[in-house]
Amino acid sequence: MPFTTLARVKAALQIPAGITQHDTRLTDAVNVANDYVLRTIHLAGMTAQSYTEAYDIDDDGMTSILLDRMPLQSVTSVVDNGNTLLASSYYSNRRGRLKLAAAGAAFTVGPQKVVVVYVAGFTTSDGLPPEALAGAATDIACAAANRSTNAGLSQNNAGDFSVAIDPSLIPPGAMMALNHFRMPFPRRGNTA
């Protein structure tokens, strides 16, 4: 299931369902918007999937890692310097933070020392698609469709009527919604 659909975008643009002359252009905008949302929130697909990432541990005493993708559904395994950790030795939250549970415990310093296998993405209990992301994708598709009809113009005049065209790629409201689903400072793991 995509974040937004042709029907949703047509409704947002107030284009009756029976008017189909713009459907090809609008479908392209829908595809671009859905792809942009996935890339922005670092997911391979909308539904929950398994990811394997290796993390560099740069500092002595480092006790937590921010996983690259969210919402985090579960952690399958954590391997630190070749040793598989017991599930009781760490905990995690939906925002992708993985933390060692024991006082004084720390990850081994070095490149690619920690490998985490986890499941992230959306499940039916999250509601598919989450309304904030569906709204963002719809706004992005509408903006892309509106820009494509006025490509290269900063302003469109017709007699006494003038419309300024927003040059921003992503509507600010859509970006705010997307930012809620992104890591503020992702600690990019390498896919193992």
Domain borders along the chain are 6-43+125-179, 49-121
Q: Which of 2-16, 36-50, 65-79, 109-123 has the lowest mean pLDDT?
A: 36-50
Instruction: Please state, rounded to an integer, the average pLDDT across all residues of the chain.
Output: 85
How far, in Å, CA of 35 to CA of 38, rounded?
5
Q: What is the pLDDT of residues 70-87, one digit of tens each?
A: 889 999 999 999 999 999
**Six-digit token string for 128:** 């598919």
101 pLDDT above the threshold of 90 = yes
Closest CA to 27 of 3, 1, 5: 5
151-166: average pLDDT: 56
Torsion from C-alpha of 69, 141, 135, 173, nearest 10 degrees: 90
C-alpha–C-alpha distance, residues 81 and 94, integer Å: 25
**pTM of the predicted model, to two decimals?**
0.74
- Residue 48 tokens, joined: 């929950």
CA distances from 20 to 13, 24, 106 (A): 13, 8, 59
Q: What is the largest CA-CA distance in the chain?
A: 73
Structure tokens at 28: 């392209």
* Per-residue b or e along 38-73, where b marks 16 or more CB atoms closer than 10 Å to that residue's CB: bebbbbeebebeebebebebeeeebbebbbbbbbbb
- Is the Cα dihedral 38, 44, 48, 53 positive or negative? negative
End-to-end CA, the chain: 28
